[in-house]
Amino acid sequence: MEFLMNLSDGKQFTIQLLIVLICLFYGARKGGIALGLLGGIGMFVLTFGFGVSPGKPAIDVIFTILCVVVASATLLASGGLDVMLQIAERILRKNPKFLTILAPFVTAFLTILCGTGHVVYTMMPIIYDIAIKNGIRPERPMAAASVSSQMGIIASPVSVAVVSLTAMLLAPGVKHLEGFDGYLNLLAITIPATLIGVLAVGIFSWFRGKDLDKDSEFQEKIANDPEFKKYVYGDSKTLLDVKLPASQWAAMWIFLGAIAIVAILGAFPELRPAFDNGKGVMKPMSMVAVIQMFMLITGSILIVCTKVKVNDIAQNAIFRSGMIAIVAVFGISWMANTMFSVHTPMLKTALGGVVQLYPWTYAIMLLLISKFVNSQAAALAAFVPLALGIGVDPAIIVAFAPACYGYYILPTYPSDLATIQFDRSGTTKIGKYVVNHSFIIPGLLGVGVSCVFGYIFTGMAGYL
């Protein structure tokens, strides 16, 4: 299709974006595994039709989901999840609505400790079970938790995004902010701004959607389809009065201990083994590898030390939902990376001119680029040097650092896709028009509030 390849970059981008949206729209309408399979059609059109070189699917993310899902499924099979649910039920018994506030803070703090939002996959099955067994619309805490897990990246002392932004702001030849020495000064702004944004997400989510007992569509489904009701609720009996055996308590502590170790290794990179990066520089093992390794170790220890029936692991709901999420992530991430990577230079040039004229639009431009590249660190690396080069005040860059999270705009990011699969009730979903999905309002609200308070705190620190 020579005529397609001869079109201008702008026209190619428009047509390709339309193709990606059609694949997302139809895949979302079909649901489940179809969302990933449709990525193959998009890839065919992009490569054979436009001659675009295939991009890279999110392999690290896919493997991380795989490892975490296997560990979580093993926890469920061992009965350790029942212990967590029992404790959670006791805490939430008087007022279970607190889950919608607590869940996003839990996932945000895990991200801050570990430097990656992928730890959210561990929490989603737990959040869902607590919600559905307490009559809470699962969309409320689950969408909030997914969004908040990604918001925590710019507030994490061990994230690539924070380390990269600090280095760029202190690079030679760049206008330095008076009194800004880097790392801790940046975190002093991003951490409180992010946590206030997370609180805003939780408060909004508390009131979103209909209560399950008032949702006529949901009630009709469970009334007319006993299998669907069984799938949604699973074992509907309460765990509050059940005396759980010691092996199940051991399973829970093994699992929580593994998460604690991962968090410590994330906070203290010197505890991780270091390897030559090929340029004579020793670098600590990446947190992606650490998470994957310790999740597999956790599953292994649970099998050895508890009464797990191995065949039950691959049969439970957590494992099935996780495998569907992996297919969806593979197809969509491959298609999106193929399209956006080839147009990054054009987008940088076009957006850079706007920012030069109107510096306050920096946050919007960074938000959009983040969506295009699906990475906060990559968005910062692509846009911050350009912004500094055309004279954007470094204080603006610090103030609007939370805007590097914009990949919730379209429901293509792994944590969002996995969350949809983990919500067996179907309340967390992609809407008819694709953009009206469960994550967009919490995302816009959380990032917007974080940016507003980031600006306030930057002014209070004397940088503006």
- Residue 275, phi then psi, degrees to nearest 5: -135, 155
Residue 235 vs residue 283, higher pLDDT: 283
- What is the C-alpha separation between 335 and 233, in angstroms, rounded? 34
Judge whether residue 301 has pLDDT over 90: yes
Local structure of 282: helix, strand or coil: strand
Q: How would residue 104 be classed by pLDDT, with cut points 50, 70 and 90? A: very high
Q: Which residues contact 330 (CB under 8 A, 6 or more apart)?
A: 36, 39, 57, 58, 62
The tokens describing 397, both together, are: 């860059």
Judge whether residue 237 has pLDDT over 60: no
Please tell me the pTM assigned to this model. 0.69
pLDDT tens digits for 392-451?
A: 889 999 999 999 999 888 887 878 888 988 888 888 988 877 778 899 999 999 999 999
pLDDT of residue 85: 67
> In the predicted model, what is the mean pLDDT of residues 271-290?
82
The tokens describing 330, both together, are: 């593979």
pLDDT tens digits for 77-90?
A: 998 878 876 776 67
Judge whether residue 92 has pLDDT over 60: no
Local structure of 1: helix, strand or coil: coil
Q: How far is CA 456 from the centre of its chain?
A: 26
Percent of the chain with pLDDT over 90: 23
pLDDT of residue 9: 75
Judge whether residue 110 has pLDDT over 60: yes
- What is the C-alpha separation between 124 and 422, in angstroms, rounded? 7
Q: Which residue has the tokens 């039950």?
A: 312
Q: Which residue has the tokens 């990525």?
A: 39
pLDDT tens digits for 329-368?
A: 788 778 877 887 787 677 667 666 677 677 778 899 889 8
The secondary element (H helix, E strand) that includes residue 274 is strand 274-276
Judge whether residue 46 has pLDDT over 60: yes
**What is the secondary structure of 358-418 as a DSSP string?**
-GGGHHHHHHHHHHHHT-HHHHHHHHHHHHHHTT--HHHHHHTGGGG--TTTTTTSHHHHH
**What is the secondary structure of 207-258 as a DSSP string?**
T-S--GGG-HHHHHHHHH-HHHHHHHHSS-S-STT----HHHHHHHHHHHHH
pLDDT of residue 373: 66
pLDDT of residue 190: 95
pLDDT of residue 214: 86
Determine whether 208 is exposed, middle or buried from the number of CB atoms within 10 Å of its CB (0-12, 13-18, 19+): middle
For residue 240, what are the CA distances in angstroms to 88, 244, 395? 9, 10, 51
pLDDT of residue 284: 85
User: Average model confidence (pLDDT) for the chain?
Assistant: 83
